[in-house]
Amino acid sequence: MRIDLFNAGKRFNRDWIFRKTNLTFLPGHTYAITGSNGSGKSTLLQTLAGSMEISEGKMKWRQNGHSIDADHIFSYLTIAAPYVEVIEEMTAIEFLQFHEQFKPLVKGISIIEIIKLVGLEKAAAKQIRYYSSGMKQRIKLAQGIFSTAPLLLLDEPCTNLDISGYELYRRLIHDFAKDKTIIVSSNDVNEYSFCEHIINIMDYK
């Protein structure tokens, strides 16, 4: 997945979140968006996801040389973020089965194996409403990382995770997301230490 921003900007009312932004995200590369709390990291990530329109400039998405319309970009990405809701009435198994109907999961690994890989095998048949916040974050990572979608967006991906959760996150990225374009929005270096490119949103104010 390739994304190009040309003199792009986003504002709310009279306040510019970012402006005059020229960036290129290349297929198979890893990027971190950093900046102080409230600086607009998540806003930039959501414009890259096509869920927010930019206020000025242009943004283009391309996959395998073909242009993708903003209305269809959601089919090519997955996102794991604290504000992304899970369906709490479902079990982990049901949730991943539901997700797979829209975005296929990686071949060769069953849903039961995915759940085991994220450390939720003992709660696989339990409704997500009874999960702890850390367990919910693990299932969010599972649906994001194990999807075949070429673009993986991660907004503070280790929120509510303990030390073992951080280790799991890094292992999953290393083992199952090597071919994706990955963009991480975070202030925590432990969440983006694997990223090749660092983008400080304060440079685009």
State the pLDDT confidence band at 143, using cuts at 50, 70 and 90. very high
Q: Please state, in angstroms and rounded to a whole number, the distance separating the CA atoms of residues 53 and 77.
A: 17
Mean pLDDT of the chain: 96
Q: At what angle do helices 133-145 and 92-100 cross, to 10 degrees?
A: 30
Whole-structure pTM value: 0.95
Residue 56: predicted pLDDT: 97
CATH architecture of 2-204: 3-Layer(aba) Sandwich (3.40)
pLDDT more than 90, % of the chain: 97
User: Cα separation of 31 and 34, whole Å?
Assistant: 10
Q: Where are the domains of the chain?
A: 2-204
As a whole number of angstroms, the distance between CA 192 and CA 205 comes to: 22
Q: What stretches of 83-162 show up as alpha helix (H) in DSSP?
A: 92-100, 111-117, 133-145
pLDDT at 137: 97
Write out pLDDT tens, residues 165-187.
999 999 999 999 989 999 999 99
Read off the pLDDT band of 30 (50, 70, 90): very high
H or E, element range at 5? strand 2-12
